[in-house]
Amino acid sequence: MTATDGWPAGLTGVTESVVATLGPNDRWNQAALGLHAPDEAGDPVTATTWGHTRTRGNFERRGGGVVQFTTDPREFVAAALDVTETDEPVRDGAAAWVEVTAERLDEGEEGGTEWVRWALTPAEATVRERRVPTINRGFYAVIDATVAASRLDVPAYDTGALLDRLAYFAETVERCGGPAERAAFDRIDELTDWRARRNESL
């Protein structure tokens, strides 16, 4: 999928983003959101919310939000694992963002958790930063770690396997990450206490 489809960047597979949705308190809730690129031309980008989250409620009330592509792993950790509200929708670390409308496509239940799949249609997009792509394994380890950490208390997932995965990601960040990635992983530690839980299970 190319940027000419209305998105500020090409999307393939599942692209991790941060979505800002306006809550009933007139503050912007920042949350992680996986964007699923369409398999067929003309189909919409989709995203799935799990459970009765703030993002789901705000999509239902407001009909959309602001999707951001952030280059700061600390902002992603805050969005994925903490309750983060801001006065403005766009975070400082966003390289690009796009206003989207959200339309409910499907819903169901899996592992005891309700889910809703949304079609996201882009409107106005802004690109703040273009840079030469570089690969930092620590950054991607932080992103994967937030997924594992968010599943720790979900009955459908094996806690021991998730804790082992977090230990692997922690080693990767220590070896390959920079100061921002290490600070982001420190925040994962604070929010989940996964190291103590793993030590207890050994």
For 55-75, the pLDDT digits (tens) are 999 999 999 999 999 989 999
Q: Distances from the Cα of 154 to the Cαs of 106, 113, 162, 179, in angstroms?
A: 22, 9, 11, 31
User: What is the pTM assigned to this prediction?
Assistant: 0.88
pLDDT > 60? residue 2: no
Residue 3 confidence (pLDDT)? 54
The whole-angstrom separation of Cα 134 and Cα 181 is: 14
Residue type, 140: Y
Q: How far apart are the first and last CA of the chain?
A: 45
Per DSSP, the three-state class of 183 is: helix
| 44, 119 contact by CB (below 8 A) | yes
10 band by pLDDT with thresholds 50, 70 and 90? confident
4 band by pLDDT with thresholds 50, 70 and 90? low
Residues 14-63 pLDDT 10s = 999 999 999 999 999 999 999 999 988 889 999 999 999 999 999 999 99
Question: How many residues are given for the chain?
Answer: 202
Residue type, 46: T
1 band by pLDDT with thresholds 50, 70 and 90? low
- Domain-by-domain residue ranges, the chain? 3-127, 137-197
Class of domain 3-127: mainly beta
Give the tokens for residue 76.
């992603």
Q: At what angle do helices 137-150 and 159-176 cross, to 10 degrees?
A: 160
Residue type, 178: G
Residue 73 confidence (pLDDT)? 94
CATH no., domain 137-197: 1.20.58
Residue 152 confidence (pLDDT)? 94
Q: Encode burial over 3-22: b for 16+ CB neighbours within 10 A, e otherwise.
A: eeeebbbebeeebbbbbbbb
pLDDT > 90? residue 131: no
Strands (E), the chain: 14-22, 28-36, 45-50, 64-70, 84-86, 94-110, 113-127
The whole-angstrom separation of Cα 112 and Cα 88 is: 34
pLDDT > 90? residue 121: yes
